[in-house]
């Protein structure tokens, strides 16, 4: 019996697909060369922008053909998209040949759902529960090992669906993280550890005995072995001096920070609920550059947030010009149902968003050329 996993979205999902693969291999499945040859296909989905969801609808729709050829084929859809009840319902209505629809929190029970389907039960829709700590992973990223340090997000940036589909911040206990990293290092196959969380800088605040992110970094670096350590993502409002200090002083930590700015305009930043200003953002950048001169810095930007004027968009351009990032990701704002920004007045047309994103990417290209 063979399996195939299709992954959309961020590193968090890539890593969760490693968990899915481990569950399936534990059940006796082995990796299929492609979806055509699989007995079970799992779609691990992303809800961050409409485009991501559209792709899933298209690709799941295409599986109907495979299901016709092999009626025993099991199709499961999980991840952030199916964590939203309405989207899950829509998926089930549109594609009755899908066997399992579950949210991110139910992945640890995947084996149970598959066995239920094999016994003839048709459908499960579940999007509650707790993520399990102790599951193994089938690590698939070469000599890099992902390590999840926390789940969820408390920030509620007004454009973002993540807090709704991933729940509130929940940190793993430091001892469990250290144990996992140690066992990864003991395997001897991995040279790189990448810590994952939506907002790693607020790691540990919710623990009964709080631990700071800086301490976690130091304690991981203290583990024996020849490895490099990196992490994502940092929120500018929470990037503290002690974290910058640890990055500077620990030779094992990569000199690299992904620090999404989202916009260079204060009115838009406020509407986004980002909790920092352009000035504050630039101050942090200057601090990083002063303390760690060789640090690579990358960023994310959203253009065409509701009511963004041409002038306000120009503030994003000037911020990018001023900082000269090592690279940036630029996204056209995509309204997500249930978020505050999707209800705001003055939504920007696709045409204007496209124009702005192109302009931003062009500037980025020009800056890259100039080095
Ligand atoms: N927790 C991380 C990652 C969030 S998702 C962070 O806070 O940076 C990755 C990127 O997707 C975000 O940085 C943002 O630029 C973009 N994004 C999130 N929601 C979006 C939306 N509704 N439309 C367009 N881009 C979005
Ligand atoms: Fe979304 Fe903001 Fe949380 Fe990042 S910090 S996941 S953008 S709500
Ligand atoms: Fe997408 Fe979920 Fe990650 S919405 S970006 S897969 S947290």
Sign of the CA dihedral with 307 first, then 166, 191, and 235 last: positive
Pocket of ligand 2 (CB under 6 A): 153, 155-157, 160, 162-163, 198-199, 235
pLDDT for residue 105: 84
CATH number at 20 reads 3.40.50.12160
pLDDT for residue 140: 86
Atom 1, ligand 2: residue with shortest CA distance: 160
If you measure from the C-alpha of residue 120 to the centroid of ligand 1, how many angstroms do you get, rounded to a whole number? Answer: 40
- What is the separation of C-alpha 70 from the centre of its chain, rounded to a whole number of angstroms? 33
Residue 332 maps to a domain: yes
Q: What is the pTM of this model?
A: 0.94
If you measure from the C-alpha of residue 96 to the centroid of ligand 2, how many angstroms do you get, rounded to a whole number? Answer: 33
Same domain? For 12 and 118 the reply is: yes
Which of 254, 286, 316 is the endpoint of a domain?
A: 254
Atom 24, ligand 1: residue with shortest CA distance: 333
H or E element in which residue 195 lies: strand 192-196
Ligand 2 nearest atom to the CA of residue 274, by list position: 2
If you measure from the C-alpha of residue 269 to the centroid of ligand 2, how many angstroms do you get, rounded to a whole number? Answer: 13
Q: Which two tokens stand for residue 358?
A: 């192109």
Same domain? For 232 and 307 the reply is: no
Q: How far is CA 327 from CA 105, 107, 133, 258, 260, in A?
A: 33, 33, 34, 9, 11
CATH number at 358 reads 3.30.750.200
Residue 244 maps to a domain: yes
Ligand 3 close to Cβ of residue 166 (< 6 A): yes
Residue 265 maps to a domain: yes
Same domain? For 296 and 315 the reply is: yes
Please, are residues 126 and 242 in contact by the beta-carbon 8 Å criterion?
A: no
Q: Which of 212, 221, 274, 219 is nearest to 243 (CA)?
A: 212
Ligand nearest to the CA of 301: 1
If you measure from the C-alpha of residue 153 to the centroid of ligand 2, how many angstroms do you get, rounded to a whole number? Answer: 6
If you measure from the C-alpha of residue 80 to the centroid of ligand 3, how many angstroms do you get, rounded to a whole number? Answer: 6
Please, are residues 322 and 351 in contact by the beta-carbon 8 Å criterion?
A: no
Residue 133 maps to a domain: no
Which of 95, 124, 153 is the endpoint of a domain?
A: 124
Residue 239 maps to a domain: yes
Same domain? For 260 and 250 the reply is: no
Number of domains in the chain: 3
Across the beta sheet with 30-31, what order do the strands follow? 30-31, 2-7, 40-45, 74-79, 100-102, 125-126
Q: How far apart are CA 264 and CA 279, in angstroms?
A: 9
Domain range for 244 is 141-254
Same domain? For 248 and 316 the reply is: no
Same domain? For 145 and 174 the reply is: yes
Please, are residues 47 and 336 in contact by the beta-carbon 8 Å criterion?
A: yes
Please, are residues 152 and 135 in contact by the beta-carbon 8 Å criterion?
A: no
Same domain? For 108 and 161 the reply is: no
Ligand 2 nearest atom to the CA of residue 156, by list position: 8
Ligand 2 nearest atom to the CA of residue 160, by list position: 1
Same domain? For 157 and 234 the reply is: yes
Which single residue is written with the structure tokens 């009840």?
85
Same domain? For 332 and 348 the reply is: yes
If you measure from the C-alpha of residue 49 to the centroid of ligand 3, how many angstroms do you get, rounded to a whole number? Answer: 9
Same domain? For 35 and 100 the reply is: yes
Q: How far is CA 110 from CA 21, 31, 107, 125, 309, in A?
A: 11, 16, 5, 12, 47
CATH number at 210 reads 3.30.750.210
Which of 234, 254, 274 is the endpoint of a domain?
A: 254
If you measure from the C-alpha of residue 157 to the centroid of ligand 2, how many angstroms do you get, rounded to a whole number? Answer: 6
Question: Which pLDDT tens digits describe the chain residue by residue (371 residues)?
Answer: 999 999 999 999 999 999 999 999 999 999 999 999 999 999 999 999 999 999 999 999 999 999 999 989 999 999 999 999 899 999 999 999 999 998 888 888 888 889 988 887 655 565 565 555 656 889 988 999 999 999 999 999 999 999 999 999 999 999 999 999 999 999 999 999 999 999 999 999 999 999 999 999 999 999 999 999 999 999 999 999 999 999 999 999 999 999 999 999 999 999 999 999 999 999 999 999 999 999 999 999 999 999 999 999 999 999 999 999 999 999 999 999 999 999 999 999 999 999 999 999 999 999 999 87
Same domain? For 224 and 280 the reply is: no
Residue 129 maps to a domain: no
Ligand 3 close to Cβ of residue 14 (< 6 A): no
Residue 131 maps to a domain: no
Residue 135 maps to a domain: no
Ligand 3 close to Cβ of residue 48 (< 6 A): yes
Backbone angles phi, psi at 42, to 5 degrees: -115, 125
- What is the separation of C-alpha 292 from the centre of its chain, rounded to a whole number of angstroms? 26
Pocket of ligand 1 (CB under 6 A): 48-49, 159-160, 162, 198-199, 233, 235, 260, 262, 300, 302, 331, 333-334, 336
Same domain? For 285 and 345 the reply is: yes
């Amino acid at each position: 019996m063979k399996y195939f996993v299709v992954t959309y979205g961020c590193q968090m999902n890539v890593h969760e697909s490693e968990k899915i693969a481990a569950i399936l291999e534990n059940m006796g499945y082995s990796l299929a060369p492609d979806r055509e040859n699989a007995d079970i296909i799992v779609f691990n989905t992303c809800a961050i922008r409409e485009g991501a969801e559209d792709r899933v609808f298209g690709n799941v729709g295409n599986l109907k053909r495979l299901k016709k050829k092999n009626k025993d084929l099991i199709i499961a859809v999980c991840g952030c998209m199916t964590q939203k009840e309405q989207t899950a319902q829509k998926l089930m209505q549109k594609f009755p040949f899908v066997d399992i629809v579950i949210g991110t929190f139910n992945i640890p029970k995947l084996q149970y759902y598959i066995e239920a389907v094999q016994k003839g039960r048709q459908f499960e829709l579940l999007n509650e529960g707790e993520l399990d700590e102790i599951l193994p992973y089938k690590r698939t990223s070469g000599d890099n090992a992902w390590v999840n340090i926390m789940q969820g997000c408390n920030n509620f940036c007004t454009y973002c669906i993540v807090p709704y589909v991933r729940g509130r911040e929940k940190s793993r206990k430091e001892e469990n993280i250290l144990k996992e990293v140690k066992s990864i290092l003991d395997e001897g196959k991995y040279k790189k550890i990448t810590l994952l969380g939506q907002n790693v800088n607020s790691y540990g605040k919710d623990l009964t005995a709080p631990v700071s992110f800086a301490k976690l970094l130091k304690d991981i670096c203290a583990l024996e072995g020849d490895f490099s350590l990196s992490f994502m993502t940092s929120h500018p409002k929470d990037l503290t001096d002690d974290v910058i200090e640890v990055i500077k002083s620990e030779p094992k930590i990569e000199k690299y920070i992904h620090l999404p700015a989202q916009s260079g305009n204060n009115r838009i930043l406020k509407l986004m609920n980002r909790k920092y200003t352009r000035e504050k953002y630039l101050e942090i950048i200057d601090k990083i550059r002063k303390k760690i001169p060789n640090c690579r810095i990358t960023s994310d930007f959203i253009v065409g947030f509701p009511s963004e004027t041409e002038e306000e968009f120009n503030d994003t351009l000037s911020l990018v010009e001023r900082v000269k990032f090592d690279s940036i990701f630029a996204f056209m704002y995509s309204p997500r149902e249930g978020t505050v920004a999707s209800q705001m007045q003055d939504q920007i047309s696709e045409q204007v968003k496209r124009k702005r994103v192109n302009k931003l990417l062009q500037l980025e290209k020009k800056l890259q050329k100039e080095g």
